[in-house]
Structure 1
Amino acid sequence: MVDFTDKWLPTYIRRDLAVLFCGINPGRVSATAGYHYANPANLFWRGLYEGGLTPRRLLPEETAKLLDYDYGITDLVSRPTRSSTDLREEDYAAGAEQFVQMIQTYRPRVICFNGITAFRHATGQKKAAISLGLQPQLAFGTADWPGSYLFVIPSTSGANASFTREERIAKFGELSAFLRAKEWHPIPLLPPPT
């Protein structure tokens, strides 16, 4: 029988995406299912829909459809674990190096980190205070992130007790508003009903 730690999730990416979503690493449920954010307790798919980033709530097995909306998805560390606390410093270091190379190759307009931990390890901001949302101090045009804005949402994991569901969903709405302001939103804004 194949252990879930032997299953790695694919990265869905292409050049110049509106948003590349980046999580920490696949958990047991997602690795076993073979799809990003497959755990029913995870708010990622709900957040995309309720935040106005997709016209309907996608299912984890529809992960590849993110590309239809000009979004991509990956993890900072590819190795699946039961919990991100099982990751080692060398996992993060290798993951961050590969991630920066991917960004420099594919150049997404926005990189949305699903969780402060993913952001800290990707950017080396391990000690600094991190606020959620757009990261102006590391935005657009730095050496590691050429042409990419950085955005942080609270982890959508069901284990995240630091933020309410409503607070986590609201950050997706902020990302959606930012994309609209930049005219990068893939979904047309419908006129109000008459």
Structure 2
Amino acid sequence: MLFCGINPGLMTAATGHHFARPGNRFWPALHRSGFTPRLLKPSEQRELLSYGLGITNVVARPTARADELTAEEYREGGRLLALKVARWRPRWLAVVGVTAYRAAFDDRTARVGPQQRVIGGTRVWVLPNPSGLNAHWTLETMAEEFARLRQAAEDSA
């Protein structure tokens, strides 16, 4: 499983750890959904590999907010992400943020959940954006969606 965030926030850029901002719900959702046996800190991101999980971003440029990214950056990020997926060949790509997925892969109708798109042999799932600014999803409903992905991955193994 390769998790893919939108781009590094300023805290992530400063620390070098994905989803480093204290209000971000990625790590708690990952744990509550059963992907990890305990709640990892952003500084422990390398432990993901021991669980068969990886982490990257659509766009490498750090910003304070994702809406600072251009459409071209998203499209180029989607192209580069597809190349990473082709090289690493994870069974699943989990894009964290439906807006980022739509922009990166030019799919205006995408919704959270499994996608029709397959990259090589890699299936694609879109997860909700775990930023604290995403008030549409609670930690509980976010963890439920992460768990749906985990179950689908286990069922397809």
The two structures have a TM-score, normalised by structure 2, of 0.94
Contact map agreement 2:29 2:139 (CA 8 A) in 1: no
Q: Could you say which residue in structure 2 is the equivalent of 1:133?
A: 113
Greater Cα offset, 174-183 or 41-50: 174-183
One-letter identity of the residue aligned with 1:133: G
Q: Percent identity?
A: 38
Q: Could you say which residue in structure 1 is the equivalent of 2:31?
A: 49
Q: Could you say which residue in structure 2 is the equivalent of 1:10?
A: none
Structure with the higher strand share, 1 or 2? 2
Greater Cα offset, 35-44 or 157-166: 157-166
In 2, the alpha carbon distance for the partners of 1:131 and 1:91 equals: 21
Deviations 1:54-83 (A, max 9, x none): 111111001111111111100000000000
Q: 2:11 aligns with which of 29, 34, 44?
A: 29
Runs of 4+ in 1 over 2 A off after TM superposition: none
One-letter identity of the residue aligned with 2:27: W
Indicate yes or no: 2:97 matched with 1:115.
yes
How far the C-alpha of 1:102 sits from its partner, in A, is 1.1
- RMSD of the TM alignment (CA)? 1.2
Larger radius of gyration: 1
Gaps of 5+ in 1: 1-18, 140-144, 184-194
In 1, the alpha carbon distance for the partners of 2:85 and 2:150 equals: 21
Indicate yes or no: 2:71 matched with 1:89.
yes
In 2, the alpha carbon distance for the partners of 1:20 and 1:121 equals: 19
Structure with the higher helix share, 1 or 2? 2
Contact map agreement 2:76 2:104 (CA 8 A) in 1: no
Q: Secondary structure at the match of 1:52?
A: coil
Gaps of 5+ in 2: none
Q: 1:151 aligns with which of 108, 121, 125?
A: 125
In 1, the alpha carbon distance for the partners of 2:111 and 2:59 equals: 22
Indicate yes or no: 2:146 matched with 1:182.
no
Contact map agreement 2:3 2:54 (CA 8 A) in 1: yes
In 1, the alpha carbon distance for the partners of 2:139 and 2:59 equals: 25
* Residues matched between the structures, number: 157
